[in-house]
Structure formats: structure tokens, C-alpha cells
Structure 1
Amino acid sequence: MEYLEFELPIKDLEQQLQKCKVIGEESDVDVSETCAQIEKKLTDTKKEIYKNLSPWQRVQLSRHPDRPYTLDYIRAICGDSFLELHGDRSFKDDKAMIGGLGKIGDQSFMFIGQQKGYNTKTRQYRNFGMANPEGYRKALRLMKSAEKFGIPVVTLLDTPGAYPGLEAEERGQGEAIARNILEMIRLKVPVITIVIGEGASGGALGIGVGDRVLMLENTWYSVISPESCSSILWHSWEYKEQAAKALKLTASDMKKLKLVDEIIKEPLGGAHRNREKTFKTVSNAILKNYEALKNLSPKDLVSQRMEKYVQMGVYKG
């Protein structure tokens, strides 16, 4: 288990607890009372740290290397029923954007999301979760297939942004994202969007237009990352914590601004601390929101989705 800087007091207590248990196992000394005291202190410390997280600390948690990624959620939720689909039928298969059909119980869904890597090799293979235009075109192809067969769509957002390379721009990165936003607004099937990690810029919005938009508790959703914002405004990354606070990018901020519909609570310490519980919570949230949408006609779905996004923000003539 890796620990972030603000989690170091937890690390020290967990190490003390482990040593205490080892002493009890290897000797005749009764350490049960000492272990109980350490466990209580550990629980109190966790509650104190995690209930007072700053926006920047939540950004750090959203990027935790042990945090589950899109394929982890899909495989846990769907089991063997998941069938991954590949390619945009135009250029190639983008490994940073994954999608396919899967079932939760008896209900089929089209799952689409950005996939990051677990180590240096897989991060390069997945391009660090930064999709090229062909990734967004693959996502759109899968959404239109789902629409054709009346299958609801679930998108999982976790990207530092769309790939900003020259070749991506040459192949129409901006057009691909804009096209997805337009087509998602008009999809005639329910669309449930969940931010499971980083929701950065148009890279996230390219698969982020939904009837219901949910955020896990320790995730962020913003037009720009704190580091990039700091770099533009102060010409340095040193002010990233200040930028994170100013951007209002946390789940609670987004809920207050009515830009997302629901916050999915995470286990104490983050999704990576209890993966199974997180997967179950996300699965339940998908089913609950689908139940609220499944009886709406295609016309009502599109009309309500358009109205939802028209109401966002403030406009003064």
C-alpha cells in the first residue's frame, strides 16, 4: 500500500499495530490491550484526516496508484459477461479508450471509459488514459450501436485530458470531442456518467454528457488540472494547491453548483482502501439511476437531457 504525504501519520500507526501483533504472536506477552489502543488511535486519526481533506488532497487521492481503474470496475461489476469491442472503423483501436457490452444482473449496458495503466509499460500502452480522436470516435460508434439496440450507456471518466499531441490535432481531436458532445445530447437511450478518478477538460467531457452525472467522493471534474491552471496563471506549478481550491473541482463543489447529480460515498481512505465495497456501491448507483430513467420515452430522455445542460451556468444578455 502506498501512502500520500498527508497519510503518513496513518502509515506510522499501521506499522506500530503490525509490530505489536508480531510481538504478541512471537512471545507469551499479552499485547491485546496495547493493540486495541493503537487500533482506536488509528481509527480516530483516519476519521480526522479524511474528514478535513483539502481540494488538492482529493486530487491526490483521485490519482492514487492503487485506485481502481475503468476495467477494474467493469470486470468486478459485470464478471465474465463483459465483451470488449475494438476500433473506430476508420483509423485504429485506441487503447486509452475502452468499451464493450456487459451485464449487471439481467440488464445489459454499454460500458465506455478511459483506461490508465498500472506500471510504466501499461501506462505507455494506454497512453496514460489520454485518448486520441480515434478513441472518441470508437466511443461514439459504441454509443450509436447501443442506441440502435436500445441498450443503456454507462461512461466512466478517468483521464488527465485528451491527448494533446500534434498527430491528434491533425486527425481532428477537437472535432471528435465536439461531435461526441452533440451526439450524446441526442442519444435516445439512458446515459449514466460516473467520474471515477480524474475528470479533466474536454477529454472527460467527450464521453461525459449524461442524463445522470455522478462523482465518486474523492474525484475531481474541471476544465483544467490544478497544475496547468497554476502554470498559466503563476507560470509555476508551485501554486497548484491554491489553484485546486479556486477551481471548485471537488465532488461537493460540483454538487453545490448543480453540475453533477449525485456523490457516491467512498470507503474511509478512498476507493482503493476497500475495492469490493466501492464496486458494489457503484453497481448499485448504476442500477438505481437506470431504474429512474428506463421508463422514459426516447423523446422525453433527449428533451430532459437538453434542458439539464441548458440550465447550467449563468448567462447575462
Structure 2
Amino acid sequence: MKILTPLEFEKSIYQIEDKIEELKNLSEETGIDLDNQIKTLVEQAQDYKEQLYSNLSPSQKLQIARHSKRPTFLDYVSMITTDWVEMHGDRAGTDDRAIMGGIAIIENQPVMLIGTQKGKTTKENLEYNFGMPQPEGYRKALRLFNHANRFNLPIITLIDTPGAYPGIKAEQTGQGIAIAVNLCEMAKLETPLITVILGEGCSGGALGLAVANRVYMLEHALYTVISPEGCASILWRSADMACIAAESLKITSDDLLRLGIIDGVIKEPLGGAHYDWEMTANNLKQQILESIKELSKMSGNEIKTDKYDKFRKMGVFVER
């Protein structure tokens, strides 16, 4: 596994792999047998990686979740579907590109696939507003929810967003009410709804697509009421305290599974999804298909009751 763009905590791995490359080049140029030294370094690097990535702090996982090479919604669409027809617009004159959706086929199973889209370049990020939806994006999603419900299509939402867009225009055009309506209407849907957090899942911007029967997270994704930087700015008046905020917020997949907020964790390759897109996409697809198979056995009323019971259990505690 060659480090693509090393994060701060990955630089020691990068140095070992750099040394391995140097020895390989030296062996080729001089004909000296350095196989044993190379093998030893490769084993050391692998052991170090396994130890490092199995003990990541929340702030380190946050860096992986935000990695610029991490697959986006459209990348997964191309990898897990055999057909995809995008559906545009909120039927009120706008088409928010930060939320995309349409009918897709996954292993012969028709679904309504909806997700937040980030860009990889400056141009793409401007087009997709850095993955921050406007109110019209949530209204478009609601239209697609209702369309899927009418035709009994399972709904899959794939989320990677730093949050709903907080601009003045978004507030003026009803950001809060758009998200609130989605929360209410998703609870009423009688078709299976499955959510997967791909990277960032922040605040109401994520929840506006995530009142689901099953909620999963990729291993290094995060799901939180506010970004660690935002939390630190409010509580300590300094974004420099983001690492402490990340610890306190319980944003990781392991924490949220333990707390009963999510239903499962989807395994990523060593180092993160950006190191093996196909493996990550295959794991994602298998989890989606398993959940559809499970939920398809339920009636419409059972689907609604299942969601209600799931969300009512959140936050329950016992005093000792």
C-alpha cells in the first residue's frame, strides 16, 4: 500500500515506504541482492500500518474521512450500479447539485439512490457547493422519496456532507423547514430506507437524508451533530480545540455502534477507502443488498414501526 497523499500521522509510514523504494531501485541499478532487507522493511511497514490504523484517534479518523482521494457518491454509483438514471429538480425551478438522485439497478434490484456529492477539484467543489446542500436539494430529495414510495422502490441514501449550506440565501429560502419536512416525511415512508455515511455526516444536513430503517457507516466515516471545529469554536472560542471536541462528541463508527445510533460498520481497506475503491464499493453493495433483503419482508406499517422504534430507543439511559 503506497501512501497516496500522506496525512500528518502517516508520514512515518511514508518514510518507511520511501526507504523500500530506494532499496528496490538500488538493487536494480547495482545488481546487489537486497531482498532480505526489503522483505524485513515491508513486514515492518505492514505491522506498523495495522497497529496504526487499528488505534486511530477520532481526529485522525476525521482526516481520513475528509481525504481528497476518498470516493464520492458518483464514484460509488459507477461502481455498484449497472444502470443509473438521474432525476433532476425540485419542481420549483431549481436543481441543487449538492444532492443528486435517481433510479438505479444494483444486482438486478431497482432502487432509488440519493446522495450528497462533493468535488475533487476546485471547479467540482464550486459546482457541488463543497457537498453542502441548499433547501432545494432537500426538496428534490423529498420528491424522490415520494416517487420511490409510490412505486415501492427501496431507497438508499449515501451521505458525505459537512452540513447543510449555512448561507443567508439558504436561510431565506427555508433551510430549516426543508430539513424538518424531510425528517417528518421520511418517518412516514412505507418502503425500506437504508442510509450509509460515506465520509462526513454532519448535523441536520446529514440527518435530512437519514431517518432510515438501517443506518450504516464506513469504518473511518464520522456522524455528528456538529463538526469538531464548529463545536470547539462555540465551547472554547477556538477551532484549535477540535481534537478535544472530536473525542467528546463520539463521532466514530465504533462509538456510534456501541451507543446504538447506527446498525453496523462497513469495513474499509487498510488506510481508508481511498486505497481500494473496488473493495470498499463491494462491501457497501453487499451490505445494501443484505438490508434490502431483510427489510423487504416487512409490510408498509412494519417499515414505519421499525423506524419509529429505532429512533425512540436513541438516548435511552438507566440511572444507577
Q: Shorter-chain TM-score: which interval?
A: over 0.9
Q: Is the 8 A contact 1:91 1:134 kept in 2?
A: no
Alpha-carbon offset, residue 24 of structure 1: 2.5
CA deviation after TM superposition for structure 1 residue 23, in Å: 2.1
Within-5 A mapping of 1:1-317: 1-79=4-82, 81-314=83-316
The DSSP-based 3-state class of the residue aligned with 2:112 is strand
Q: State the 4+ residue runs in structure 1 displaced beyond 6 angstroms.
A: none
Matched residues, percent identical?
45
How many angstroms apart in 2 are the aligned matches of 1:303 and 1:67? Answer: 35
In 2, are the aligned partners of 1:147 and 1:188 still within 8 Å (CA)?
yes
Q: CA deviation at 1:13?
A: 1.2
Q: Report the CA distance between 1:15 and its aligned residue.
A: 1.2
Q: Structure 2 unaligned runs (5+)?
A: none
Can you give the 5+ residue segments of structure 1 that lack an aligned partner in the other structure?
A: none
Answer yes or no: is the 8 Å Cα contact 1:99–1:112 preserved in 2: yes
Aligned-partner SS, 2:278: helix
Give the distance between the partners of 1:61 and 1:5, measured in 2 at CA: 11
Residue 315 of structure 1, CA deviation: 8.0
**Using the alignment, how far apart are the partners of 1:315 and 1:203 within structure 2?**
26
Q: Which amino acid aligns with 2:204?
A: G
How many Å apart are 1:249 and its aligned residue? 0.9
Secondary structure of 1:44's counterpart equals: helix
Within 2, Cα distance between the matches of 1:286 and 1:25? Answer: 46
- Aligned counterparts of 1:113 and 1:17: Cα–Cα separation in 2: 40
Partner Cα distance (1:191, 1:246) in 2: 29
Q: Counterpart of 2:308 in structure 1: which amino acid?
A: M
Deviations 1:67-106 (A, max 9, x none): 1111111110014x11111111113110111111111111
Q: TM-score, normalised by structure 1?
A: 0.97
Return the alpha-carbon distance in structure 2 between the equivalents of residues 86 and 66 of structure 1.
27
Distance 2:317 2:22 in 1: 60
Alpha-carbon distance, 1:314 to partner: 3.4
Spell out, residue by residue over 1:259-283, the C-alpha distance to the aligned partner (whole angstroms, 9 max, x if none). Answer: 1000111111111111110000000
What is the distance in 2 between the residues matched to 1:189 and 1:22?
57
Separation in 2 of the partners of 1:19 and 1:285? 41
RMSD across aligned C-alpha pairs, in angstroms? 1.2
Q: CA deviation at 1:2?
A: 0.6
